[in-house]
Amino acid sequence: MAPDSTPARIDLDPRWTVGDVDPRLFGSFVEHYGRCVYTGIYEPEHPTADAEGFRGDTAELVRELGVPILRYPGGNFVSSYQWEDGIGPRDKRPVRLDGNWRALEDNQVGTDEFLSWTKRVGSEAMMAVNLGNRGTQAAMDLVEYCNHPSGSYWSDLRRANGYKDPHDVRVWCLGNEMDGLHQVGHKTAYEYGRLAAETAKAMRMIDPGLELVACGSLHPRVATAFSWESEVLEHSYEFIDYLAIHAYYEQRGEDRDSFLAAAIDMDRFIESIVATLDFAKARGRHKKQVNISFDEWNVWYNDAGEVAGQDFRKAPRQSENMYNVADAVVVGNLLISLLKHADRVKMGCLAQLVNAIAPIHTEPGGAAWRLPTFHPFALTSAHGRGTVLNTLVTSPRYETRWFGPDTPQLDAVAVRAEDGESVTVFAVNRSRESALPVEVDLRGFPGLTRVSQVVLADEDPEATNTAERPDRVVPRSVSGARVDGGTLSALLPPLSWNMLTVRAA
């Protein structure tokens, strides 16, 4: 790429705000897929396993990652899942064939175990119900099992199973990707919209305080994208709180320049969904606002053939993408995109949490370690809480195959901390060759004069972390950034994710 010579600049003002960050924007996703559950979060034979069989080394990394909400149990898995299989004595639980991922599911981890584990790692749960080959009654029963105190069949069964107190799950997904032809129980938009509306009403008969998420399209490039959402919302808008959207990105061939700018596509997708939601609100003359749950997103090098051709077995190795530095920069940029739309994107789930397209990798009986994508996520979750500022970016441009000649080299967002004592700028330099000098106008924040810079970059963009070298790729603090006369000046290395934090001296 050959960016032009235009200086990069970021203008901020405390009066220009996008909205407050809902901490649930930094969620993740646990599906019974590959080794996410078995030998990922759960492995009773592991040396670090707790009394419930969950790996202690994985749990420690999950806490460090900082995920306030975890979606469960799917994903494609949920569309044929019988949740009753995963409760009660473990030695009496059935072994099922999971046709979605061609795996054997022995149900040793189910609703109670997962919900208890989420609390131990400091998260809440986003539960999905099966609207594929089941429906409204099974969803009502699961809400009763999880949330009703006692005195009914399902709540008393939970108590008999050893869980006296309700799990009190607040956020529920009404199925998963129901427009997908691959999905068990695929529905038309009309069929799903009516089912989602009636299931939402019925679930709230059991617990009126639920937050409910309806399915959007499988991804923004399917032929029915946006028209699907529009029809679903026509039937369900009044009964839901969020619309779920999903998007994954990968480098296509040798075209890394386009891949590094993938967040442009995420920006456009979000803005199109916001327009669709607002049209549905106006068309139905609704008073409330439905927001977005971006509850599947990541970089994913997806080999569908690895699933289609395999024998049924427990916890097969699937989609174990060993992410590199370039992938981590893109993940950091996708987080910037989510933050830029924090007024409407209220929840998000990095898919997934462990092993399968995940920031954490484990080996059975062995180590657990952070892949490079772990770091921008953990740092953004830790320092991206507060109020997103309307971040005006002036950047050099370059040409990419996906986005044309007007692709910005710099993307950035700024977040003012909840206590108002600091501002953090998250920024990516997409150029593979050129360092990028950046100036940030801080005149509206006269007390903030002390700056620190953390960088994720490497001379080898293919570098990754392994069990033998778990810290080959880590963020590092660099010197050189300064604040002078209300202007922050910093240098962003080539192909890098950066976190610049300014505080009072």
For the annotated catalytic residues, the residue numbers are 177, 296
The whole-angstrom separation of Cα 33 and Cα 28 is: 14
The whole-angstrom separation of Cα 372 and Cα 125 is: 25
CA dihedral sign, ordered 261, 262, 265, 270: negative
- The DSSP code sequence of 204-216 is HHH-TT-EEEEE-
The whole-angstrom separation of Cα 33 and Cα 61 is: 19
Selection from 373, 376, 369 nearest residue 58 by Cα:
369
The whole-angstrom separation of Cα 66 and Cα 88 is: 30
Phi-psi region of 53 (alpha: psi -120 to 50; beta: other; left: phi over 0): left
Locate 353 and state its tokens.
């949490």
Strand partners, 452: 501
The whole-angstrom separation of Cα 372 and Cα 123 is: 22
Cα angle 498, 504, 505; round to 5: 100
Selection from 452, 451, 456, 464 nearest residue 428 by Cα:
456
Helix (H) or strand (E) holding 154: helix 153-160
Beta carbons within 8 Å of 279's beta carbon, 6+ residues apart: 230
Beta carbons within 8 Å of 253's beta carbon, 6+ residues apart: none
Locate 146 and state its tokens.
């999880």
Q: Do 123 and 68 meet the contact criterion of CB atoms below 8 Å apart?
A: yes
